[in-house]
Homo-oligomer: A and B are copies of this chain.
Amino acid sequence: MQEQLMEKIMEEVMKKVKETKINEENTEENSITIENKECGITEFVGTAIGDTIGLVIANVDYNLHEFMKLDKKFRSIGIIGGRTGAGPQIMAADEAVKATNTEIIAIELPRDTKGGAGHGSLIIFGAEDVSDARRAVEVALDELGRTFGDVYANEAGHLEFQYTARASYACNKAFKAPIGKAFGLIVGAPAAIGVLMADTAVKAANVEVIGYASPGNGTSFTNEAILFISGDSGAVRQSLIAAREIGKPLLEALGGKAPSLTQPYI
Question: Are A253 and B111 in contact, with the CB atoms below 8 A?
Answer: no
- In the complex, per-residue mask of A251-266: 1 if CB is within 8 Å of any chain B CB, else 0: 0111100000000000
Tell me whether A199 and B39 are in contact in the complex, defined as CB-CB below 8 angstroms, given that A67-B211, A80-B192 are known contacts: no
Question: Are B83 and A223 in contact, with the CB atoms below 8 A?
Answer: yes
Contact of A108 among B116, B203, B214, B246 (CB under 8 A): B214
CB contact list, A12-29 vs B, under 8 A: 12-14, 16-17, 20
A124 at the interface (CB under 8 A from B): yes
Measured CB to CB, the nearest residue on chain B to A14 is B16
Q: Contact residue range for chain A?
A: 35 or more
Question: Are B195 and A110 in contact, with the CB atoms below 8 A?
Answer: no
On chain B, the residues within 8 Å of A225 by CB distance are 122
Question: Are A51 and B220 in contact, with the CB atoms below 8 A?
Answer: no
Question: Are B47 and A254 in contact, with the CB atoms below 8 A?
Answer: yes
Q: How far is the CB of A23 from chain B (nearest CB, A)?
A: 12
A230 at the interface (CB under 8 A from B): no
- Complex Cα gap A60–B83 (Å): 34
A151 at the interface (CB under 8 A from B): no
A159 at the interface (CB under 8 A from B): no
On chain B, the residues within 8 Å of A5 by CB distance are 2
Measured CB to CB, the nearest residue on chain B to A191 is B122
**Apart from A61-B203, A79-B195, what are 10 other A-B pairs with CB-CB below 8 Å?**
A38-B253, A53-B193, A55-B193, A80-B192, A81-B193, A81-B195, A110-B219, A110-B224, A122-B190, A122-B214
